[in-house]
Structure 1
Amino acid sequence: MGTTDVPDGGPEARTGLIHLLRKVSVEFGLRQAEFAAHNGMHPTDVRALICLLDAGRAGTDATAGWLGAQLGLHSAGTTAVVDRLVRLGHVTRTRDPRDGRRVLLAVEERAEELGQAFFGPFIGATDAVLRELDSRETDAVRRFLTAAHEAVRAAPGSGRAPEPP
């Protein structure tokens, strides 16, 4: 019996799930690195684009300071990432219309199209798997992934505090 086949959900089953989550994380990191290399970016640039896309979906104003905090970078490192993404045509800087002192960052449509072309098949395949689950199962997956994210984020040595609810 494999570690994920233990019927009682005991320690072996939990360890198996943790190892599966690690496999997914490693594989996704490899795909991100492949996307970065294929598009003349650093892997941190891809992380920055993901943060900026998430900010756009959430309606969060993304400034360089905000992005640096998300990435765990100091201001010079953040500036280098933003400059690279602007130079590649993936991100724009615009003055905040409500506060002209602030500069907002946004992902260009071209970058979204590149991401969709590369990651779209993965996203589609994952969506197909999720469509096979009922609402209780998707709720359990959501709870697990949310808690796992918080556990990793708040782990000693991560340098990051848990996100507020």
Structure 2
Amino acid sequence: MELVHLLRAVTVEFDLLGAEFAARHGLHTTDVRALIHLLDAARDGTPATPGRLGRQLRLNSAGTTALVDRLERLGLVRRSRDTADRRRVLLEVEEKATELGWAFFGPVIGEVVAAAEDFPADELETVRRFLATVLQSTRQMRA
């Protein structure tokens, strides 16, 4: 249970950081979660569409449109037409959002990376497998 409690504590701290980031930049915590999903999609090479984002955030189409409109108005996200299918709209995170994120979260990311460097590769692989399994379990619970 100690691992469960530590994982919960880390989750709470990251949630608090996300809420502070949102408050500083006039965002809602859902906006921050949306940006994270869009950044993850870009990193994975997955096309990000409003429909996919809405499913991830569990928002209806009107809520998703309002969210994307707000992020676009703030200069954090842009819409573009898919060159392969002009009917499809793609979402991309603007450089401004990335810069804001790094300015705020960069120090904690740096500390996490530095902490990881103190562990041997096999231990990090164990931690990675554990976290991946926990993530899979929580996603299954939400589904």
Q: TM-score band (shorter)?
A: over 0.9
Q: Secondary structure at the match of 1:92?
A: strand
Q: Which residue pairs with 2:92 in the alignment?
A: 106
Q: Deviations over 1:119-146 (max 9, x none)?
A: 0001000000111111111001001100
Partners of 2:125 and 2:45 in 1: CA distance = 24
TM-score (norm 2): 0.98
Consecutive unaligned residues in structure 2, runs of 5 or more: none
Structure 1 segments of 4+ aligned residues over 4 angstroms from their partners: none
What is the alpha-carbon distance in structure 2 between the residues aligned to residue 58 and residue 149 of structure 1? 17
Any stretches of 5+ residues in structure 1 without a counterpart? Answer: 1-14, 161-165
Shift of 1:74: 1.3
Matched pairs, number: 143
Alignment correspondent of 1:31? 17
Q: Which residue in 2 is equivalent to 1:146?
A: 132
- 1:86-165 maps to which residues of 2 (within 5 A)? 86-155=72-141, 158=142, 160=143
Structure number with the higher helix fraction is 2
Greater C-alpha radius of gyration:
1
Report the TM-score when normalising by structure 1.
Answer: 0.85
1:42 and 1:90 map into 2 onto residues whose CA distance is 13
Q: 1:19, CA displacement in angstroms?
A: 0.1
User: 1:137, 1:74 → 2: CA distance?
Assistant: 41
Question: Shift of residue 73 of structure 1?
Answer: 1.3
How far the C-alpha of 1:153 sits from its partner, in A, is 1.5
Percent identical pairs in the alignment equals 59
CA RMSD, 1 decimal: 0.7
In structure 1, how many angstroms separate the alpha carbons of the residues matched to 2:95 and 2:41? Answer: 15
Could you report, residue by residue, the CA deviation over 1:84-113 in whole angstroms, capped at 9, with x for unpaired residues? 100110000011111110110000001000
* Structure with larger RCO (C-alpha < 8 A, sep 6+): 2
Letter in 1 for 2:87: R
For residue 87 of structure 2, give the secondary structure of its aligned residue in structure 1.
Answer: strand
After TM superposition, give the deviation of residue 82 of structure 1 in Å.
0.6
